[in-house]
């Protein structure tokens, strides 16, 4: 039992960076942009968050920097695809390569300047970024461990998912953005400022990815800088968007499932003697299944926004 609780806790920990990447990508895709630069924006956020945290020893400042760096990546992408109509797939891929490259470059430069040959976040920020402990609540058996003992990112991610779900379902702006994602021509005809909302949501999505990057350096890598710090999680987040059928609320559930599938191989409950590569494949197998199932059901609500991946050119209307 206690091992199962630990497994669930590990699943939440493993799912959280995916949650941020997924939410960021959902915001992008809702506005009609398939952004394959999630990994790059996460890397930029990882680097900025780490470096600012390293210098300032201030958790909040580090988070803001991570958000800003991710948003900056989103801005690059927005300028290229919204204003200059560059191909979305190619731009996104380029952003990934650029983001990883730049963050590694800065990281290696900073490593070269450090006396110990290692970069580690200072004491205060390390304490703040680690698991919280609420007296009494965190000490409750099982419940305390399952609900009240995570790092701050987990609660931030959950709040963000709920906020975004509300935003896209219930607010006027959120619905307008979805209209842009489905049919920007019709949205523009209805008087919705297409370009402005696209820019804002590409920035917002990038920023959210950036926070996911900060999670990678602070929690997964324990506050020590390593190259390729995001390690491919951004790509899994792109798959998770499909699994979550473009719904921020389902992303919450989806990231927990993906997180669980990703750590399952380290908690051998079923004593199965199967090749470990099968475990590595599970999240993607499930994604493929979801794709097949949703396309059979033909539900418009659960599909990718119709104009996602296609640039909007006003004159062609």
Partner 1 sequence: MQKNIGLEDSQIVRKNNIDDSDPTATETAIRECIEEGCNVIFATSWGYMETVAALAEEFPDIYFAHGTGYMSNGKNFTNYFGRIYQARYLSGIAAGLKTQSNKIGYVAAQNKDNSEVTGGLDAFAMGIYSVNPDAKVYVRVTNSWYDPEGESAAAKALIAEGCDVIGQHCNTPNPQLAAEEANVWGVGYNSDMIKDAPKAVLCSVLWDWGAYYTAYVQSIIDGSYDGSNYYGGLAEGLVDISDLADFNDPEAAAKIEEAKKSIIDGSFNVFDGVIETNDGSTVGEEGGTLDDATITGGINWYFKNIVEESAQ
Q: How many residues bind partner 1 (CB under 8 A)?
A: 37
Site string for partner 1, 88-127 (x = CB under 8 A): ----------------x---x-------xxx-x-------
Question: 32 or 49: whose CB is closer to partner 1?
Answer: 49
Question: 118 or 295: whose CB is closer to partner 1?
Answer: 118
Of the candidates 113, 170, 172, 271, which one interacts with partner 1 according to CB under 8 A?
Answer: 271
- Minimum Å distance from CB 259 to partner 1? 9
Of the candidates 19, 179, 220, 290, which one interacts with partner 1 according to CB under 8 A?
Answer: 220
Question: 40 or 181: whose CB is closer to partner 1?
Answer: 40
Question: 75 or 282: whose CB is closer to partner 1?
Answer: 282
Question: 6 or 302: whose CB is closer to partner 1?
Answer: 6
Q: Does 229 bind partner 1 (CB under 8 A)?
A: yes
Of the candidates 148, 167, 267, 284, which one interacts with partner 1 according to CB under 8 A?
Answer: 267
Tokens 């803001």 locate to 64
Q: Does 302 bind partner 1 (CB under 8 A)?
A: no
Per-position DSSP letters for the chain, written without gaps between them: -HHHHHHHHHHHHHHHHHHHHHHHHHHHHHTT---TTHHHHHHHHHHHHHHHHHHH--HHHHHHHHHHHHHHHHHHHHIIIIIS---HHHHHHHHHHHHHHHHHHHHHHHHHH-SSS--B--HHHHHHHS----TTTTTSTTHHHHHS-S-HHHHHHHHHHHHHHHHHHH-HHHHHHHHHHH-HHHHHHTT--HHHHHHHHHHHHHHHHHHHHHHIIIIITTTB--SSTTTTHHHHHHHHHHHTTT-HHHHHHHHHHHHHHHHGGGS-SS-----HHHHHHHHHHHHHHHHHHHHHHT-STTS--TTTTS---GGG-
Q: Which of residues 1-30 bind partner 1 (CB under 8 A)?
A: 3, 6-7, 10, 13-14, 17
Q: Which of residues 272-291 bind partner 1 (CB under 8 A)?
A: 276-277, 280
Q: Does 262 bind partner 1 (CB under 8 A)?
A: yes
The residues that touch partner 1, with contacts defined as CB under 8 A, are 3, 6-7, 10, 13-14, 17, 104, 108, 116-118, 120, 130, 216, 220-224, 226-229, 231, 233, 262-263, 265-269, 271, 276-277, 280
């Amino acid at each position: 039992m206690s091992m199962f609780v630990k497994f669930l806790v590990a699943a939440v920990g493993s799912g959280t960076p995916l949650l941020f990447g997924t939410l960021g990508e959902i915001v992008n895709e809702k506005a009609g942009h398939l952004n394959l630069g999630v990994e790059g924006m996460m890397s930029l956020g990882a680097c900025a968050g780490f470096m600012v945290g390293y210098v300032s020893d201030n958790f909040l400042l580090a988070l803001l920097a991570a958000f800003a760096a991710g948003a900056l990546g989103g801005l690059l992408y927005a300028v290229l695809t919204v204003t200059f109509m560059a191909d979305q797939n190619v731009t996104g891929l380029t952003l990934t390569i650029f983001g990883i490259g730049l963050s590694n470059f800065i990281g290696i430069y900073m490593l070269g300047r450090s006396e110990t040959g290692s970069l580690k976040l200072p004491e205060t920020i390390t304490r703040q970024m680690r698991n919280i402990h609420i007296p009494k609540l965190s000490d409750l058996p099982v419940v305390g461990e399952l609900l009240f003992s995570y790092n701050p990112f987990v609660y931030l991610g959950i709040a963000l998912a709920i906020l975004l779900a509300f935003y896209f379902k219930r607010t006027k702006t959120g619905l307008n953005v979805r209209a842009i994602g489905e049919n920007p021509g019709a949205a523009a005809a209805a008087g919705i400022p297409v370009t402005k909302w696209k820019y804002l949501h590409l920035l917002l999505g990038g920023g959210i990815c950036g926070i996911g990057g900060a999670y990678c350096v602070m929690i997964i890598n324990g506050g020590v800088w390593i190259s390729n710090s995001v390690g491919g999680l951004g790509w899994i987040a792109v798959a998770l968007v499909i699994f979550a059928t473009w719904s921020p609320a389902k992303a919450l559930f989806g990231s927990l499932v993906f997180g669980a599938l990703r750590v399952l191989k380290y908690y051998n409950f079923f004593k199965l003697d199967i090749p470990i590569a099968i475990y590595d494949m599970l999240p993607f197998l499930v994604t493929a299944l979801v794709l097949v199932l949703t396309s059979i059901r033909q539900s418009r609500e659960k599909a990718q926004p119709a104009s996602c991946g296609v640039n909007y050119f006003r004159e062609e209307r």
